[in-house]
Amino acid sequence: MKSFSGLEVFCDHVIRKLGAPDEVTEDQLAEEFRTVYLKGLPLNLGTLKAVAASCGIKLNGLEKMPDNMRGYHEMFDDSRHIYFRKGDVLSGTENTILHEIREMMETLFAEVNPNYMPLRTRARHIAANKFASAVLLPEEDFRSKVYETGLDIIALSRMYSKSCSQVLLRMGEVLQGRLFFYAALYEVGPGDKDWKVNYRTVCYNDEDLEANFHDYDGFFPKKGISVIPGSLVDMAINKKKAHLVRRITVLEDETEEGLIAIARPLMDPKSCAIKVALVVLLAQDGHILGQQIERAKPVMVERFHQHL
pLDDT tier, 66 (very low <50, low <70, confident <90, very high otherwise):
confident
Handedness of CA 129, 76, 33, 48 (dihedral sign): negative
DSSP string, 115-136: T-----HHHHHHHHHHHHHHHH
The pLDDT value recorded for residue 36 is 92
Distance CA 212, CA 202 (A): 11
Quick check: 202 pLDDT over 70?
A: yes
Quick check: 2 pLDDT over 60?
A: no
The pLDDT value recorded for residue 1 is 38
96-113 confidence digits (pLDDT tens) = 999 999 999 999 999 999
Taking the model in full, what pTM does it have? Answer: 0.90
Quick check: 286 pLDDT over 60?
A: yes
Strands, DSSP E only, in 189-258?
195-205, 243-249
Distance CA 119, CA 161 (A): 30
Average pLDDT score over the chain? 92
Q: What is the mean pLDDT of residues 225-254?
A: 93
pLDDT tier, 209 (very low <50, low <70, confident <90, very high otherwise):
confident
Q: Could you give the percent of the chain with pLDDT greater than 70? A: 98
Spell out the CATH class of 7-136: mainly alpha
Task: State the span(s) of the chain assigned CATH 1.10.10.2910.
Answer: 7-136
Q: What is the mean pLDDT of residues 20-43?
A: 92
The pLDDT value recorded for residue 217 is 72
Q: What is the mean pLDDT of residues 5-26?
A: 91
Highest average pLDDT, of 207-211, 246-250, 295-299, comes from 295-299
Which CATH number is correct for 151-305, 3.40.50.300, 3.40.630.30, 1.20.1600.10, 3.30.450.20?
A: 3.30.450.20
The pLDDT value recorded for residue 268 is 87
Task: State the span(s) of the chain assigned CATH 3.30.450.20.
Answer: 151-305
Q: Which of 227, 235, 35, 230 is nearest to 138 (CA)?
A: 35
The pLDDT value recorded for residue 5 is 67
pLDDT tier, 4 (very low <50, low <70, confident <90, very high otherwise):
low
Q: What is the mean pLDDT of residues 181-187?
A: 96
The pLDDT value recorded for residue 287 is 97
Beta bridge partners of 282: 259
Q: Lowest mean pLDDT: which of 131-145, 184-198, 233-247?
A: 184-198
- HSE toward the beta carbon, residue 308, CA cutoff 13 A: 27
Q: Lowest mean pLDDT: which of 70-74, 212-216, 289-293?
A: 212-216
Q: What is the mean pLDDT of residues 71-75?
A: 88
Quick check: 192 pLDDT over 50?
A: yes
Quick check: 183 pLDDT over 90?
A: yes
Helices 164-175 + 153-160 axis angle, to 10? 110
